Amino acid sequence: QVQLVESGGGLVQAGGSLRLSCAASGGISSINTMGWHRQAPGKQRGLVATITKGGSTDYVDSVKGRFTISRDNAKNTVYLQMNSLKPEDTAVYYCAAAPLYGGYHYWGQGTQVTVSS
């Protein structure tokens, strides 16, 4: 069993920055991919950024050049550095964990990010 806990959300003005953290515990050896997702009110949840056990990263086009996903293996923690934030980035952000050949089985509780104009 994997447990994920997000932190770092909050209220920020447009153009500002936030860094989200996702601390993993439990059966983390089964994890191949960590992904950050977000869901805004009235919209479907979407994938924002991923990082694999091998260190490969990927981003949705709308955040490329602004967001950076990274990891600290010693702390079992994944980060999402968000710069040049826009009001449309406002959402609940979730981290999730997936094995090599499966979907995202484990999810955190989410952290609210609000970007004011």
pLDDT digit string, tens, across residues 62-71: 999 999 999 9
SS3 85: coil
- 42: Cβ contacts below 8 Å, ≥ 6 apart: none
Residue-wise pLDDT tens digits, 22-81: 999 998 888 999 999 999 999 999 999 999 999 999 999 999 999 999 999 889 999 999
Q: Are 89 and 75 in contact (CB under 8 A)?
A: no
Q: Are 6 and 21 in contact (CB under 8 A)?
A: yes
**pLDDT value at position 28?**
87
Provide the sign of the torsion angle of the four alpha carbons 75, 78, 81, 86, taken in this order.
Answer: negative
**pLDDT value at position 57?**
98
